Amino acid sequence: MNKRDSIPATLTECVRCLPPFVAGCACLYSRNTGEDGLRYIAGEGDPMGMHTTKVAVGEGKFALEAQLTVTPRGMAVYACSPEFAHLGATAQAIPRPEPGRTATVSILAVPCHRDEIPAHDIAAALATRFGVPVVASTGFHVEQASGGDLQRVLDTTKELIAALEEAAARILRAGWDEGGAGAEVVAVNAATGETLSPVDRIDAHAGEGILHQAFLTLLVEGQGEDARLLLCRRSPLKRLWGGVLADSCAGHPLPGEDVVAATARRINEELGITRAPDQLKHLGHVTYREDHGDGRCECEWCEVYLAHVEPGELHINQEEISEVRRVAPSELKGYLQGHPEQLAPWLREALEVPSIRAALAM
């Protein structure tokens, strides 16, 4: 059996045995099999905030695979040994409100006691870190296991937990560009651009909005007539302007973080390229306010940066970006008129500035 196909086969056979929350999430399994060098297998997003993905760790008989579903109300995990379909144990973890306290875990089902510890540890780790309820079901199997083999399974479980934490963090970060829900942005003075105080990200994007720091990045391949601006389509996971064609990378600096340093950080997280802050050319700023149409808006003082990249240099984070489009500067006039499609409002504002457009072909 192909290892990439083992989880859907296992879920098909085991879904009737899963608790209702896990079973519901299992039905959302994505058949997308793209994966990057971290063995993170990208899943399929739901614009309402539910996302399913897979991770895989270990090798040979110690290989483990897991399906992770992240929802606004919690997370569900089904983890198994490839090619073996069984449900060994299910654990539920509820986060504690006290800072620093480990989540409270209940074992819901234990058809196989060998799976009790992995199910417990996975649920506890995710609930403690992310502060949401977690249900974890495991079905681990090692042929003719010795005592040493069982310890190896537990060690591999720790690797799996780390991979699940990374995957969950990427999904949550993608929804808000960076920092996750509950993070803060920095309000600015509309007249001077002077930073004021941190404000809750949700409040900054609600109603009329609060003017706050942001940045956009224009990455260009080639020069002169061969120059191509890299436009990136925002992932459907994004809470604002999901699925919209935008600049190469946009985001918000965290409180206390320099804007150009935040730009360098985010192009690494989203596009997999490394640039020192002094390699990013500052092209000025734009300010704008744009309604999202659902009670949310963008209201930003947005710094604009330019960097050049080589063909093949990008390593796209598929949780952040669903398409990269190479556009000649001569084509931008059509995009600014809405043809072949509309651009994100911050990019449209930036490209309306003649000096910024001129810099793209230099």
pLDDT over 90 percentage in the chain: 49
Q: Measured between alpha carbons, how far is 76 from 133 in angstroms, rounded to an integer? A: 9
- Residues 320 and 243 both lie in one domain: yes
Q: Measured between alpha carbons, how far is 132 from 93 in angstroms, rounded to an integer? A: 8
DSSP 242: T
- Residues 100 and 125 both lie in one domain: yes
Read off the CATH number of the domain in which 78 is found: 3.30.230.100
Q: pLDDT per residue over 1-38, tens digit each?
A: 333 334 444 443 443 444 444 444 433 333 333 333 22
- Residues 168 and 222 both lie in one domain: no
What average pLDDT does the chain have? 82
pLDDT at position 62 is 83
Measured in degrees and rounded to the nearest 5, phi and psi for residue 54 equal -125, 150
- Residues 131 and 258 both lie in one domain: no
Number of domains in the chain: 2
pTM higher than the cut 0.75: no
**3-class SS at 289?**
strand
Q: pLDDT per residue over 47-86, tens digit each?
A: 446 788 899 999 887 889 999 998 877 999 999 888 765 6
CB-side neighbour CA atoms (13 Å) of 267: 28
Q: Measured between alpha carbons, how far is 304 from 263 in angstroms, rounded to an integer? A: 10
- The helix-helix angle for 147-176 and 116-130 (nearest 10°) equals 30
Measured in degrees and rounded to the nearest 5, phi and psi for residue 134 equal -135, 135
Q: Measured between alpha carbons, how far is 168 from 7 in angstroms, rounded to an integer? A: 18
Read off the CATH number of the domain in which 243 is found: 3.90.79.10
Sign of the C-alpha dihedral computed for residues 202, 203, 208 and 212 taken in this order: negative
- Residues 344 and 288 both lie in one domain: yes
- Residues 55 and 140 both lie in one domain: yes
- Residues 229 and 340 both lie in one domain: yes
- Cα angle value 161/36/243 (rounded, 5°): 100
pLDDT at position 31 is 32
Is 324 a residue whose pLDDT tops 70?
yes
- Residues 225 and 113 both lie in one domain: no
Q: pLDDT per residue over 248-286, tens digit each?
A: 999 999 899 999 999 999 999 999 999 999 999 999 999
- Residues 226 and 257 both lie in one domain: yes
Indicate the helix (H) or strand (E) that contains 105.
Answer: strand 104-109
- Residues 192 and 146 both lie in one domain: no
Q: pLDDT per residue over 124-178, tens digit each?
A: 999 999 888 999 999 887 767 677 777 888 889 999 999 999 888 877 776 654 4
Report whether the peptide linkage leading into residue 340 is cis, meaning its omega lies within 30 degrees of zero. Answer: yes
Question: Where do the H-state alpha helices sit in 210-359?
Answer: 259-271, 332-336, 345-351, 354-359
Residue that is last in its domain, among 137, 160, 176: 176
Q: Measured between alpha carbons, how far is 324 from 296 in angstroms, rounded to an integer? A: 26
- Residues 60 and 171 both lie in one domain: yes
Is 292 a residue whose pLDDT tops 80?
no
- Residues 223 and 343 both lie in one domain: yes
Residue that is last in its domain, among 158, 176, 194: 176
Residue that is last in its domain, among 111, 144, 176: 176
Range of the domain at 345: 184-359
